[in-house]
Amino acid sequence: MILELIDKLEKQHQLTREEWIRLIAGRDEESTAYLFEKARYWQHKYFGNQVYSRGLIEFTNYCKNDCYYCGIRRSNRKAERYRLTKEQILECCKTGYTLGFRTFVLQGGEDGWFTQEKLEDIVSSIKECYPDCALTLSIGERSFESYKRLFEAGADRYLLRHETAENNHYRKLHPPELSPENRKQCLRNLKEIGYQTGTGFMVGSPGQTPEQLAEDMMFIHELQPHMVGIGPFVPHHETPFAKEKGGTVELTLFMIGLLRLMQPKLLLPSTTALGTIDPLGREKGIRAGANVVMPNLSPTTVRKKYELYDNKICTGDEAAECRMCLNRRMEGIGYELVTDRGDYPDYNKNK
Ligand code: 5AD
Ligand code: FES
């Protein structure tokens, strides 16, 4: 029964809501093994044994938002706030370039100090220095106009997880000033402008059910993003969700496998959160169908401060150490970390 649903997903790249729920709620060891085998087949067909890497630069942990799950929410007075200067950001890129990164991800809280002008200046400076690299932004919800100008300044990609596609669940995870409708509209705008667009969700966030995960899959199917980042929810001790249970490795891996079958060419990161709750989490993610890793390039002095959740890994390691570590980890499971922009297959660059 469950295996038939996996076969159907592989052939049609889509299921009905009821089928998604049945598949997610009915998963067991046998169906999981079956799914991962198929996921690896498609992963190998489009990407061989290559794993792409992106150098993550966490350039500010100031944030005007107050999401209930996040360690850098504005109400967390204990968070030590920092901002990197443009020079520091460029220095991270320089280190990253030498280490073989050809994609940089600028990620930060929604921090008004970085005005549109400042952001455009940073984006164009990075693209001037590293024209052969892709630049990804991950700086939250902005207007269509702002996204457009950042794209014109040179940004190639944008990551904005939808977090959960089901509206009532979204409202349980966020304060009233944040709306699921706006979140989804931002994602549609990003795609329309021409960004390679990444969305994603947390697995096992408080109150999440298979019904909601089904909504996530259906939303992603409709959006057809280029990348989907998913990771387990991990509680942070200074948030309203401090005492909630975290997401599991098992369900996160299952969802990765489903995403690979639903959209075989998807860029799918094996996330730091997965590596945080299991020492071999990132390897397991790749073996479930993921094909991207996103190690940190932020200066070690600020690493610990970008604490979205407890016990985040790699906060004491230099960029070079993470690169070597991931090289070793990927080789250990028969994959190769490549020096490549790692664009979406057949992506038609309209700029
Ligand atoms: N656990 C897991 N992931 C988290 N994120 C934020 N807080 C947490 C947490 N406590 C994720 C969100 C966000 C991304 C940058 O990090 O999905 O989009
Ligand atoms: Fe950072 Fe292993 S990836 S130490």
Task: Share the mean pLDDT of the chain.
Answer: 97
Dump pLDDT digits (tens) for 159-199.
Answer: 999 999 999 999 999 999 999 999 999 999 999 999 999 99
Q: Which amino acid is at 118?
A: K
Is the pLDDT at 349 greater than 60? The verdict is no
Q: Are 226 and 197 in contact (CB under 8 A)?
A: yes
- 5: tokens are 């649903």
Dump pLDDT digits (tens) for 271-300.
Answer: 999 999 999 999 999 999 999 999 999 999
- pTM for the complete prediction? 0.98
Contacts of 121 (CB under 8 A, 6+ apart): 86
Q: What integer pLDDT is reported at residue 348 of this predicted model?
A: 65
Q: Are 202 and 230 in contact (CB under 8 A)?
A: yes
Residues 351, 334: Cα–Cα separation, whole Å? 36
Neighbours of 237 (CB within 10 A): 14
- 6: tokens are 């996996």
Identify which ligand lies nearest to the alpha carbon of 161: 1
Dump pLDDT digits (tens) for 11-57.
Answer: 999 999 999 999 999 999 999 999 999 999 999 999 999 999 999 99
C-alpha torsion 186→190→196→202, nearest 10: 0
Is the pLDDT at 350 greater than 80? The verdict is no
| CB half-sphere exposure, 177, CA atoms < 13 A | 6
pLDDT band for position 3 (50/70/90)? very high
Q: What integer pLDDT is reported at residue 195 of this predicted model?
A: 98
Q: Are 126 and 101 in contact (CB under 8 A)?
A: no
Percent of the chain with pLDDT over 90: 98
Percent of the chain with pLDDT over 70: 99
Q: What integer pLDDT is reported at residue 347 of this predicted model?
A: 79
Q: What integer pLDDT is reported at residue 351 of this predicted model?
A: 43
Domains of the chain with bracketed CATH: 50-338 (3.20.20.70)
How confident is the model over 236-257, as a mean pLDDT? 98
- Rounded to a whole number, what is the distance in angstroms from the first to the last CA of the chain? 46
Would the CB of 161 count as within 6 Å of ligand 1?
A: yes
How confident is the model over 62-75, as a mean pLDDT? 98
| Ligand 1 centroid distance, CA of 202 (Å) | 7
How confident is the model over 206-233, as a mean pLDDT? 98
| Ligand 2 centroid distance, CA of 326 (Å) | 6
Atom of ligand 1 nearest to the CA of 107: 15
Identify which ligand lies nearest to the alpha carbon of 325: 2
Would the CB of 255 count as within 6 Å of ligand 2?
A: no
